[in-house]
Amino acid sequence: MSQAAASSAPLADALKHTAEIVNAELDHLLAVPDGPESRVHEAMRYASLDGGKRLRPFLVMQSAGLFNVAESSSLRVACAIEMVHCYSLIHDDLPCMDDDDLRRGRPTCHRQFDEATALLAGDALLTRAFETVAAAATHPDPAVRCELVWELAHASGADGMVGGQMVDLRAAEFAMDVAAITRLQQMKTGRLIGFSCEAGAVLGKAPGVMRQALRNYAHDLGLAFQIADDLLDVEGDASEVGKKVGKDAGAGKATFVSLLGIERARAQADMLAKQAVRHLDVFGDKADLLRATASFVVDRRS
Ligand code: GRG
């Protein structure tokens, strides 16, 4: 059995377990009240329960596991990052952005509900994420909660994901070379992945050198993830990927694949995945699932 195959079974089990506990916690955090406002709650649940790989929550749980953080703490942060991710997917799918009909193999939120409800569901998931992190149940130390709020805001906002989305929307105005695409993707997808990996270190009050190791791992993992995403847009199958493919080429967008070609893009993703793993040496065997995640991210079919 190859090394990758040998490590993929425990990873698949661990991802499945994380998905199950995240679903259960989201079910609890996103309860539907009575009253006419219940429609926005239903839309929040539609867009965030029972779907996706739960990669970001998995990274939170695994990074927190390195520092023996209580699962009750890390699970709340894991759910918060998934809420931010799901909000971004709802808004990204809206007619004013990508105008997509399919997400996670189902109608997008605005198709299932309506545009205004989808917009509000995204807004409410974002704010519920911060409410969740800030609550006392997340960590007994208010300084830790405050740092998580600050880091999550920074990763999600105009200097992070939202800023990256803005650059993406304006990409046709600029000559986008590999350096410019790398910066865009680090903002748009890399920053949330970075938060996910560092959150465990914040929760566990980890030494700076360990937090930096996770930051470095996340940097390379995030780029590898994005190159794999670009490859899926070219090589993937919509029924497997769960969303429309061929969109980047159709829109004439510069991507890692359009700039480097398929072979070099794949080689770059593999190189980044190997480099990501090397940053984990400081954690020994405890980081084996994070090591396996690097291979998963570049080999995934969805
Ligand atoms: C609208 C504020 C705002 C931001 C949108 C993240 C993003 C920015 C848009 C998503 C568009 C997209 C497909 C980006 C490529 C990378 C990415 C985030 C893919 C989806 O993440 P996965 O593969 O999805 O982790 P699942 O469904 O598994 O959670």
Tens digit of each residue's pLDDT (9 = 90 or more) over 48-73: 998 899 999 999 999 999 999 999 99
The answer to whether the beta carbons of residues 176 and 184 sit under 8 Å apart is yes
Question: How many angstroms is it from 73 CA to the middle of ligand 1?
Answer: 25
How many domains is the chain partitioned into structurally? Answer: 1
DSSP-H helix ranges across the chain = 3-29, 38-48, 55-65, 71-93, 109-112, 115-134, 142-156, 161-169, 178-185, 191-203, 208-235, 238-241, 247-250, 256-260, 262-278, 288-299
Q: Which residue has the tokens 């996670």?
A: 104
At 6 the pLDDT is 43
User: What would the pLDDT profile of 100-131 be if each residue is shown by its tens digit?
Assistant: 999 999 999 999 999 999 999 999 999 999 99
CA angle 228, 82, 116 (to 5 degrees): 100
Task: Assign 158 to helix, strand or coil.
Answer: coil
Query: Domain span at residue 153?
Result: 3-299
At 50 the pLDDT is 82
Strand pairing partners for 107?
102
What ligand 1 atom has the least distance to the C-alpha of 164? Answer: 8
Ranges of residues in the chain with a pLDDT under 50 are 1-6
At 59 the pLDDT is 98
Ligand 1 neighbour 92 (Cβ under 6 A): yes
Q: Which residue's CA is the closest to the ligand 1 atom numbered 19?
A: 229
DSSP state for residue 103 in the 8-state scheme: E
Question: How many angstroms is it from 142 CA to the middle of ligand 1?
Answer: 30
Question: How many angstroms is it from 141 CA to the middle of ligand 1?
Answer: 31
CATH of the domain at 255: 1.10.600.10
The answer to whether the beta carbons of residues 44 and 26 sit under 8 Å apart is no
Ligand 1 neighbour 19 (Cβ under 6 A): no
At 159 the pLDDT is 96
Question: How many angstroms is it from 152 CA to the middle of ligand 1?
Answer: 16
Q: Tell which one of 189, 232, 296 to mutate to probe ligand 1, the residue whose CB is within 8 A of the most ligand atoms.
A: 189
Q: Which residue has the tokens 């791992």?
A: 217
CA pair distance 231, 255, nearest whole angstrom: 9
At 301 the pLDDT is 79
CA pair distance 26, 33, nearest whole angstrom: 15
DSSP state for residue 77 in the 8-state scheme: H
Ligand 1 neighbour 104 (Cβ under 6 A): yes
At 261 the pLDDT is 93
CA pair distance 235, 248, nearest whole angstrom: 12
- State the pTM of this model: 0.94
At 238 the pLDDT is 78
